[in-house]
Structure 1
């Protein structure tokens, strides 16, 4: 399973402020319960080749994170490891200036988080279970230099807690994705930046950001 077609995906759930250092770098408090937002399926894009992004409405920030693929209707009484079939490293791309304006007015974040190509994913890998996945870091290289490195052991809310929270409030089923949050080190992209997504030093995605008017 290296790519996804639109019919493979139902909902895209994302988690904000799930790494303490990332919340701190943006001047945000760590939430007391998971902070969930969604992206439309039209935002989904494989991170390969040239990826077009909006370049005229403010800074586009990269946020690398582990993404889970839910394989069946979620059942809280079953171990989550049995209900996740694949994972990858993805990018939750954010129009940061737009988000700041929306937050100041108390408006929803959709314009800043849900634009086309804002939910990038690398190639999908078989999910090995939480313990084995946590044995390796994930990382993002930009133009050959490491920009972010994280490990799911450092999340504020773990996979099982996130899944149960999403299920209880919104529903969680086969084909849903969970973007599990980004570590510190986010920043703005420039046009022609090459971003390489890695898990355990293994490349899972390579693409070039093209900022368009």
Structure 2
């Protein structure tokens, strides 16, 4: 088959221990999915999970041992970090039972949901979509994906983000309001998940703005760190 324009490059993410890469199909993000972050944003309780999306081209893959260049985006004065566990889907499906959900996981990675908070806040006030605040280029930095069998106990892993050496975010993944299996089960009620989908599972408290020159190091126990510098 030929195309009338040049076909887009397939976005992909490095894989730990392999020269092969993980092709990205879609990016789903879970909102307010840590207890402390929900409180930070003025909410309490175990509300039903809600989701938004980023385009596959929003990924900024960063190899192990490399500090990726993270461009400061235009049209914002409040560019914020959200440190997250990323779930890489290897087997698709819909209406997946929570008891079966982890069988659909190929692996896990460290990710950042970068946000133009001022644009997102304005969209919220006006009842408009969040795309300009969430779905812009390089808004989904991600480190190498670790196969699930090599990731250890991802359900009770420490998750941290340091900015210029200072701790900004710190929690454990057992503080997710909706854990990985529950999130996959709920998401698959609305979408038919496909191999190559990424799920950014939510962020702990401590989200804050970054500036050009800041260096961010995200870490989750059992996974490869993510390192980026805002340029």
TM (normalized to structure 2)? 0.82
Unaligned runs of 5+ in 1: none
Q: How do 1:5-154 residues align onto structure 2 when only pairs under 5 Å count?
A: 8-29=23-44, 32-47=47-62, 48-74=67-93, 76-77=96-97, 79-128=100-149, 132-154=153-175
- Paired residue secondary structure (2:182): helix
Equivalent of 2:228 in 196, 207, 210: 207
Tell me which structure has the larger Cα radius of gyration.
2
* Partner deviation per Cα, 1:36-88 (whole Å, 9 max, x = no partner): 00001111112442121215422111000100000011362562222212101
State how many pairs are aligned: 209
Aligned position for 1:173? 194
Please give the root-mean-square deviation of Cα atoms over the aligned residues, in Å.
2.3
Task: Check whether the contact 1:64–1:140 (CA below 8 A) recurs between aligned residues.
Answer: yes
Task: Check whether the contact 1:194–1:207 (CA below 8 A) recurs between aligned residues.
Answer: yes
Task: Provide the C-alpha distance between the structure 1 equivalents of 2:156 and 2:194, rounded to a whole number of angstroms.
Answer: 27
Moved over 4 A (4+): 2-5
Q: Which has the higher strand share?
A: 1
Unaligned runs of 5+ in 2: 1-14
Task: Provide the C-alpha distance between the structure 2 equivalents of 1:31 and 1:105, rounded to a whole number of angstroms.
Answer: 25
